[in-house]
Amino acid sequence: MGGLRRRLAIALVALVAIAVLGIGVGTYLFVDARLRDALLADATRQAQFNLSVLVPDRMAPGLTADTFEATGLPAAFRLRGDVEEVVDFGAGGVYVSTARLGGALATFPDGLRSSVDAGRLGYAWAAIGGEPALVVAGRPATAPPASASPPTAPAFYFVFPAGSIDLALGQLRVGLAVAAAVALLLALATAGLVARGILRPVRAGSLAAARIAGGDLSARVAGGGSDELAAWAAEFNRMADSLASTIGRLEASESQNRRFVAEVSHELRTPVTALVAEASVIEAALVDLPSDARRAAELLVADVRRLRVLVDDLMELSRFDARAEQANLEPLDLGRVVGSIVAARLPGAAVSLPSHAVVVESEARRLDRILGNLLDNARTHAAGSPVEVAVAVDPRGAGASVTVADRGPGVAEDALPQLFDRFYKVDPSRSGGSSGMGLAIASEQARLLGATLTAAARPGGGLVFTLRLPATRSLRDGDDPVIDGPEADDEPDPSSPATLRSSE
Amino acid sequence: MDGRILLVEDDSSIREITTLGLRAAGFEVLTAADGLAGLERFRAEMPDLVLLDVMLPRLDGLEVCREIRRESTTPVVMLTARGDTIDIVVGLEAGADDYVRKPFEMPELVARVRAALRRRGREAGSEGPARLRLGSLEIDVAGRTVARDGRDIPLTRTEFDLLVELGQRPGQVFGREVLLDRVWGYDYLGDSRLVDVAIGRLRAKIERDPAAPALVLTVRGAGYKVARPAVAS
């Protein structure tokens, strides 16, 4: 965004700079030409007057450089303006009206001298003694005797100072430079503002896009006007509308689906309740049944149990979807809770617990759901393999973890994340009595406890599930759960460290 | 052990199979299909225990429970469709002694019913001291009354049993499972939230400031206990 604005500003300033430069140079050349034209016209007029009126009137033949002053011509020339002159008398010497012009004759351009020799009035721009000057030259209008083969009339070189032109041009240059600088600075400031103005809708658009990306589907760009940006804003808003309505439709159908599942599982509950009670009565009477009926009754009892698990799990997930579940955290000894859960659910599993109490803020009932489902999973998918359950404290105080590891067939690396998807079955033929929702439920329960549940391949074969519980306030040292004392008050002491610690 | 059980359940299949199962376990079973009929049957027959569905036509199960509680101390076990804490709280507030989550298997239901009846039988032939003193509370164990400054505090059967269980051994910490076993009469397969909810309701009645309990204390990570009397008092 910043880059675009800078580029736009630079382009605008460059445009202004080119315009200023063009106008400046044009003005300079124009003024220069006009000043020189004016000086030249004036000088030519003066020179013509001098040569055609003053000189013929006062000049006598045989005049030389030495006697020229006495004719009063130089004074007469001076009366008509600021002019100096060089008069070339040929053999009669060279007259200069001021010492500064001594030797200047040789420096006059050849073109000037040749036009004078040809009898024409000529001019040239020259620098005399470092000063700029306009030299206008010619011979007096009085024609010499035609017999005189070498021209006898002296050549007059009138030197008009042109310094005022350079002075004026110099001032113009300074003026133009200052004006250009001011114009560029103004252009720079204006360009910044203009660029921002032009880019404001783009900026608004990117803010709106960021809001949409952040989940706020109501973000729109203020439109208006009829330029390309307004068309773009309208297009952007149309896209946002369509996105919002698509997502709204998806959400509506999603929540409809969830409501449907919730209602179905709720409606199933009454017949399932009857079925479960009936199956339990039949189970108690199995021995009294004839053998084929007995086998059918056994299958019936097992299938009713499966149905019950399925409906229970569906109900549980529906409650998560409806956000009807909330955790009631309390301090508990993780090792003790895990020990009793494993003893009740899978007594054959090897349990490794720390020798000291590991106190976490959690909920025993939900830990029982999580570990129960993990143990069920191990029993179903790794039947016959040793199952190991371990409780460990993160040495950096970042929490505690429970791992459930088996030596079953394991799961392909890329299928690991899908394990927690609803109804995901690695091998449908090995699903046993599970609903396919057990791990999804365990994962949801863990989330509710602020914990994470992950699965990984175990080195040497098998799966390992890790439940990481967050660090919470713990008992102070010596404040052992079974110690009986008046300081064992109702609420956790707010002054106790906020990191999990184990008390020996 | 036998006894007369009133089963109030609107679904005929559940009513019939539950009746069958309870009869097989040796109980005499009376049934009603809605709340009003259940209340009438209760008043007419005076059963030893009531099994009450929560969702009932005509009169809600919780309302039936409150009515029964107003008239007698007969044990009431609620049959709840869900296991949410809020359902347990609402049921206990209505005066129920226990709850069984649907779906249930008959052996589980029979065990709960027997436990509830056993508690009733136990209190008839009371054991331990006849009177307890707990701070400013006077507990008449035999008469099943609690008073503070001469004023009776009405407690439900469960709340009273819980208080006596804890009060008989001041200072001793009782785990939730132990309390489930001693007060409700069944072990870890029960839901320990029952204990927490009942403790909360007990505190609301006997503590001067239920938010800062002085009589029934929580022992973090372990369970509950009653404070040992201060030496000076």
Q: Would you state the pLDDT for residue B47?
A: 92
Q: Do A344 and B188 touch (CB under 8 A)?
A: yes
**Total domains present in chain A:** 3
* CB contact at 8 A, B73 and B48: no
pLDDT at A476 over 80: no
Same domain, B185 and B97: no
The reply to whether A476 touches chain B by the CB within 8 Å rule is: no
Distant-in-sequence, close-in-space partners of A338: CB < 8 Å, separation ≥ 6: A351, A353, A367, A371, A389, A391, A402
* B109 belongs to a structural domain: yes
* pLDDT the model gives residue A65: 79
Task: Convert the pLDDT of each residue in A130-145 to its tens digit.
Answer: 788 888 888 886 655 4
Q: Which of B85, B102, B192 shows the shortest C-beta gap to A273?
A: B102
Task: Please report whether residue A157 resides in a domain.
Answer: yes
Q: Mark whether B151 and B174 lie in a shared domain.
A: yes
Q: Are residues B8 and B115 in the same domain?
A: yes
Domain assignment of residue B233, yes or no: no
Check CB contact under 8 Å for B173 and A315.
no
Q: Evaluate whether B117 touches B49 at the Cβ level (below 8 Å).
A: yes
Confidence of residue A220 (pLDDT cuts 50, 70, 90): confident
Chain B hits for A311, Cβ within 8 Å: 103
The reply to whether A260 and A143 lie within a common domain is no
Nearest chain A residue (CA) to B212: A490
Same-domain check for residues A339 and A379: yes
Check pLDDT > 50 for residue B193: yes
Read off the tokens for A206.
Answer: 């990117």
Q: Given B92, B124, B156, which residue is the final one in a domain?
A: B124
* A306 CA: distance to closest CA in chain B (Å): 13
For Cα atoms A242, A244, A247, give the angle at the middle one, nearest 5 degrees. 105
Domain boundary among B91, B108, B124: B124
Give the CATH number of the domain where residue A85 resides: 3.30.450
pLDDT tens-place string over residues A332-377: 788 888 888 888 888 888 888 888 778 788 888 888 889 988 988 8
| Mean per-residue pLDDT, B85-95 | 75
Instruction: Determine, for residues B213 and A490 on separate chains, whether the beta-carbon distance falls below 8 Å.
Output: yes
| Position A413 in a domain | yes
Q: What are phi and psi of A430, to 5 degrees?
A: -110, 20
Asked if residue B34 is part of any domain, the answer here is: yes
Band (pLDDT 50/70/90 cuts) for residue A149 is very low
Three-state SS for A365-380 is HHHHHHHHHHHHHHHH
The pLDDT assigned to A274 comes to 92
Could you give the maximum distance between any two Cα atoms of chain B, in Å?
62
User: What's the whole-number mean pLDDT along residues A415-424?
Assistant: 81
Kindly identify which residue of chain A lies nearest to residue B107, measuring between CA atoms: A280
In a domain, B232, yes or no: no
Based on the domain organization, do A19 and A157 belong to the same domain?
yes
Q: Which of A175-189, A201-215, B179-193, B201-215 is predicted least confidently? A: B179-193
**Per-residue pLDDT at B121 exceeds 70:** no
Nearest chain B CA: its distance from A294 CA (Å): 19
Residue B163 lies in a domain: yes
Last residue of a domain, one of A266, A300, A321: A321
Residues of B in Cβ contact (< 8 Å) with A315: 82
CATH number of the CATH domain containing A428? 3.30.565.10
Question: Of A299, A321, A343, which residue sits at a domain end?
Answer: A321
* B214-220 contacts at long range (C-beta below 8 A, 24 or more positions apart): B214/B135, B215/B134, B215/B135, B215/B137, B216/B163, B216/B166, B217/A488, B217/A489, B217/A490, B218/A490, B218/A491, B219/A481, B219/A484, B219/A488, B219/B173, B220/A330, B220/A331, B220/A359, B220/A475, B220/A479, B220/A481, B220/A488, B220/A492
Residue A197 lies in a domain: no
Q: Is the CB of B109 less than 8 angstroms away from the CB of A277?
A: yes
| Nearest chain B Cα distance for residue A236, angstroms | 47
Q: Among residues of chain A, what percentage have pLDDT more than 70? A: 87
A313: domain CATH number is 1.10.287.130
Q: How far off is chain B from A465, nearest CA to CA, in Å? A: 25
Cα B117 from chain centre: 11
Phi-psi region of A315 (alpha: psi -120 to 50; beta: other; left: phi over 0): alpha
The answer to whether residues A487 and A342 belong to one domain is yes
CATH code at B107? 3.40.50.2300
User: What's the CA gap between A62 and A92, in Å, rounded?
Assistant: 8
pLDDT at B225: 87
Q: At residue A253, does pLDDT exceed 90?
A: no
| Residue B14 shares a structural domain with residue B115 | yes
pLDDT band for position A226 (cuts 50, 70, 90)? low
Q: Are residues A11 and A126 in the same domain?
A: yes
Q: Which chain A residues contact residue B104 at CB under 8 A?
A: 273, 276-277
Q: What is the CATH number of the domain that holds B202?
A: 1.10.10.10
Do residues A29 and A167 lie in contact, with contact meaning Cβ atoms separated by under 8 Å?
Answer: no
Q: Do residues A378 and A263 both lie within one domain?
A: no
Helix H or strand E segment including B29: strand B28-32
| Per-residue pLDDT at A320 | 82
Is A189 domain-assigned?
no
Q: Please report the pLDDT score of residue A484 as a whole number.
A: 36
- Please give the pLDDT value at position A74: 83
Query: Taking residues B92-119, what's their average pLDDT?
Result: 85
Q: Which residue range is the domain that position B17 belongs to?
A: 4-124
Identity of the residue in B14, B221, B222 whose CB atom sits nearest the CB atom of A274? B14
State the smallest CA–CA distance between residue A329 and chain B in angstroms: 11
Cβ–Cβ gap A481/B222 under 8 Å: yes
> Total domain count for chain B?
2
Say if B164 falls within a structural domain. Answer: yes
3-class secondary-structure state, position A472: coil
Query: Given CB atoms, is B209 within the 8 Å cutoff of chain A?
Result: no
Q: Which residues contact B197 (CB under 8 A, 6 or more apart)?
A: B85, B88, B89, B92
Based on the domain organization, do B109 and B172 belong to the same domain?
Answer: no
- In what side-by-side order are the strands of the sheet with B137-140? B131-134, B137-140, B145-148, B151-153
- Let me know whether B114 and B140 are in one domain: no
Looking at the structure, do residues A160 and A19 belong to the same domain, yes or no? Answer: yes
Higher pLDDT, A444 or A105: A444
- Residue A2 is encoded by which pair of tokens? 């910043």
In a domain, A200, yes or no: no
Triad A350, A353, A356: Cα angle to 5°: 160
Report yes or no on B159 lying in a domain.
yes
Q: Are residues A295 and A416 in the same domain?
A: no
Higher pLDDT, A357 or B69: B69
**Among the three residues B86, B103, B124, which one is the final residue of a domain in this structure?**
B124
Nearest to B106 among A281, A308, A488 (CB): A281
Give ipTM to 2 decimals: 0.70
Q: Which residue has the higher pLDDT, A393 or B31?
A: B31
Q: What's the mean per-residue pLDDT of chain A?
A: 80
Burial class from Cβ neighbours inside 10 Å (0-12, 13-18, 19+) for residue A481 reads: buried
Mean pLDDT of A424-429: 66
Choosing from A291, A321, A351, the residue where a domain stops is A321
- A257 pLDDT above the threshold of 60: yes
- Structure-token match 């990306």, residue found: A213
Of A39, A140, A142, the C-alpha closest to A83 is A39
Task: Classify the C-alpha dihedral B52-B57-B62-B65 as positive or negative.
Answer: negative
Evaluate if residue A237 carries a pLDDT over 60: yes
Angle at CA of residue A215, ends A210 and A220, nearest 5°: 55
Tokens representing residue A228 in the block? 């390309």
- Could you tell me if A240 and A220 are in contact, meaning their C-beta atoms sit under 8 angstroms apart? yes
Contact A406, A350 (CB under 8 A): no
- Check whether B117 has a pLDDT greater than 90: no
Same domain, A309 and A335: no
Q: Is the pLDDT of residue A255 over 50?
A: yes
B188–A contact, CB cutoff 8 A: yes
Q: How confident is the model at residue A67 (pLDDT cuts 50, 70, 90)?
A: confident
Out of A58-72, A147-161, A465-479, which region has the weakest mean confidence (pLDDT)?
Answer: A465-479
Strand order in the sheet with B76-80: B28-32, B4-8, B49-53, B76-80, B98-101
On the question of pLDDT at A498 being above 70, the answer is no
Q: pLDDT tier at A434 (50, 70, 90 boundaries)? A: low
Whether A340 and A453 share a structural domain? yes
What is the pLDDT at residue A479? 39
pLDDT digits (tens, 9 = 90+) for A262-293: 788 778 888 999 999 999 999 988 888 898 88
Question: Given a cut of 80, is residue A451 above it in pLDDT?
Answer: yes
pLDDT band at A429 (very low <50, low <70, confident <90, very high): low
Q: Tell me, yes or no, whether B71 and B182 share the same domain.
A: no
Residue B113 shares a structural domain with residue B141 = no
Contact A220, A232 (CB under 8 A): no
What residues of chain B lie within 8 A of the CB of A284, using their CB?
A: 24, 106-107
Same domain, yes or no: B33 and B101? yes
Which of B21, B81, B221 is nearest residue A475 as measured by Cβ atoms? B221
Contact (CB<8Å) A365/B193: yes
Could you tell me the pLDDT band of residue A69, with boundaries at 50, 70 and 90? Answer: confident
Q: Is A199 part of a structural domain of the chain?
A: no
What DSSP designation does A324 have?
-
B161 shares a domain with B62: no
Mean per-residue pLDDT, A162-171: 86
Q: How confident is the model at residue B9 (pLDDT cuts 50, 70, 90)?
A: very high
Which residue range forms the structural domain that includes residue A379? 330-503
For residue A140, the number of C-alpha atoms closer than 13 Å in the C-beta half-sphere is 21
> Which residues of chain A lie closer than 8 angstroms to B107, CB-CB?
280, 284
Give the pLDDT score at B168.
82
Kindly state whether residues B74 and B46 are assigned to the same domain. yes
Judge if A294 and A368 occupy the same domain.
no
Query: Would the pLDDT of B100 be above 80?
Result: yes
Confidence band of B41 (pLDDT split at 50, 70, 90): very high
Same domain, A395 and A423: yes
pLDDT value, residue A493: 41
Is the pLDDT at A115 greater than 70, yes or no?
yes
Domain match, B162 and B115 both: no
Condensed to tens digits (0 to 9), the pLDDT of residues A3-51 reads 777 888 888 888 888 988 898 899 989 998 998 899 889 888 888 888 8
Residue A76 lies in a domain: yes
Identify whether A48 is part of a domain. yes
From the CB of residue A384, how many other CB atoms can be counted at a distance below 10 Å? 8
